Amino acid sequence: MLRDYVDWRKNNEDLRNIVSWNPPEAVAKCIKYKFTGLDFEGRPVLWLPIGRWGVRKLIAEGYKQDCVRMQYKILEEIAHEIETRRKICGTNQFVVIADSAELSFWKLANYETVEVILRFFREFESYFPEFLYSCYFVNNPMIFSYIFNLVKPFLSAHTLSKVQMFDYNQEKWKSVLLNGIPTKSLPVEYGGTGEKVLVY
């Protein structure tokens, strides 16, 4: 798996200088993400407010390739965080909190938008799956099941076993998050004492 990942990076032009690449302001403002800290075992915790991402709007404004590059930037930063933690404590995995709040049918009912999303999951499954320790999808509206059913065929049973999904019942998912993540690594909006992230 690691060899495949290294070869993929060498052969993918979009990954050249991707970490130092500065996305257009519209893309950076729309596709936000943040490493909020470490779980109890020292794994990086990544917050992705996917429901608030306006990929369809960006594509309509001519930023489709920038959206793809932004996804690669996130993947590369994940790899960098994992490598840093591996050198410190030996861990080689990460945790994701994916917040689907504000996800709507309009945001998904577009071929190019779905194409970009599926491309991300295909490449994640091909080159990154063993890096994922767990993924928590929270605040999932009904439309979430539509897009997840499109994604599932690209994910292995092993990857799917690492995924937990929750609706808007915060009592349920906050207790689960706190089971594996220290309060200081969880933003206040998610039941922790960490820095507030929902500022836009």
Identify the pLDDT of residue 91.
Answer: 86
Q: Mean pLDDT, to the nearest integer, of 124-146?
A: 89
> What percent of the chain shows pLDDT beyond 90?
62
What's the pLDDT at 14? 60
Place of tokens 């689960």: 176
The backbone torsions φ and ψ at residue 194, rounded to the nearest 5 degrees and listed phi first, read -75, 175
The answer on pLDDT for 107 being more than 80 is yes
Rounded to whole angstroms, the Cα distance separating 73 from 148 reads 22
Greatest alpha-carbon pair distance for the chain in Å reads 45
CA distances from residue 167 to 28, 105, 110, 113 in whole angstroms, order as listed:
27, 16, 24, 23
Tell me the pLDDT tens digit for each residue of 31-84.
Answer: 999 999 999 999 999 999 999 999 999 999 999 999 999 998 998 888 889 888
pLDDT at 135: 95
Instruction: Determine whether 156 is exposed, middle or buried from the number of CB atoms within 10 Å of its CB (0-12, 13-18, 19+).
Output: exposed
Q: Is the pLDDT of residue 197 over 60?
A: yes
Whole-number average pLDDT of the chain: 89
How far is residue 114's CA from residue 56's CA, in Å, rounded to a whole number?
9
State pTM to two decimals: 0.90
- CB neighbour list of residue 52: distance below 8 Å, 6 or more residues apart: 32, 99, 101, 102, 200
Residue with tokens 């937990």: 164
Q: Is the pLDDT of residue 5 over 80?
A: no
Q: CA–CA distance from 78 to each of 19, 47, 109, 183 (Å)?
A: 10, 11, 29, 21
pLDDT one-digit tens code per residue, 162-188: 999 999 999 999 999 999 999 999 999
